[in-house]
Amino acid sequence: MPQKTRLLIAAVSALFTLPVWAGDAASSSPITANISMVNNYLYRGISKTDGGPAVQGGFDIAAAYGLYVGAWGSNFSWLVDKGFANGSSLELDAYAGIKNSFHTDFTYDAGILRYHYPATYNAGATDADTSEIYGAIGYQWLVAKYSYSLGNEFGVANSRGTNYLDISANYPISDSGVTLGAHYGKQAYKGSTASDLTAAGQNPSYADYKLTASWDVNSYVFGVAYSRTNAARGAGAYYNVLGKDLGRGAAILSLRRTF
């Protein structure tokens, strides 16, 4: 049985057999966890699974003063698809930060995030492991977030200072469990390699847009979204991999369970 099929079966089993914690127990525990399935793993508007499905999950541990740590993982294929590495199909992320509220309806969140891709890299390829620091300010259902790369960004050499600006709105509709969302993001690659890629017609910088709707029912969240980027398309473009434009418009279906 293929590995992806086994992962999907395991995820479905977990989603529908894990018990829902009682409200009091969940609220008193510092640990929360999640598992989800998506028909296409998009990150900042770019598919990391060549348009295929992904099984994902993680956990968070909350501490005093708003401090937190967490980890998250997913299957993916983009390193192999782009010819950067062999045998790499797992992404493992770890993060830590502090988030809290201030005044009325304002929130903040700041921390560091490490993306890790266990892989054997091909000759000439740059390690895709990436470290970013981030800061976000929120007001009610609006959030603006800025992420800054501390080194090479997702396999692009000499790209320290690459950044991503994320502006999102998620508006809950009264007590229906339905939330509507809209997102705009801008990934701006910096450094000599990014300049060389741009000069060669392979500009890695782009903007992405997304509309979302989700429905939360007893710790199950059903989601639908449409995402698109303005990344260059066609043969030779940076995000054209195996004949597919990974930043093209895509409809995303998801099922998430929290516990």
Strand partners, 208: 185, 229
- Strands 250-258 and 220-229, sheet pairing: antiparallel
Separation between Cα atoms, residue 133 and residue 153, nearest integer Å? 12
**Extents of the domains making up the chain:** 3-258
Q: 107-116 burial by CB neighbour count: b if 16+ within 10 A, else e?
A: bebbbebebb
User: CATH code for 3-258?
Assistant: 2.40.160.40
Q: Average of pLDDT values for 26-52?
A: 91
Q: What pLDDT, on a 0 to 100 scale, did the predictor assign at position 8?
A: 53
Phi/psi region, residue 110 (left: phi>0; alpha: psi -120 to 50; beta: rest), is: beta
pLDDT in tens, 207-227: 999 999 999 998 899 999 999
Please tell me the pTM assigned to this model.
0.89
Give SS3 for 32. Answer: strand
Compute CA distances 9 → 87, 183, 254, whole Å: 22, 31, 15
By C-alpha distance, which of 246, 254, 252 is closest to 50? Answer: 246
Kindly list the distances between the CA atom of residue 191 and the CA atoms of 46, 88, 131, 202, in Å, as whole numbers in the listed order. Answer: 21, 26, 16, 14
Could you report the per-residue pLDDT of 147-199, keeping only the tens digit for each? 999 999 999 999 999 999 999 999 999 889 999 999 999 999 999 999 999 99
3-class SS at 187?
strand
Distance CA(89)–CA(63), nearest Å, equals 32
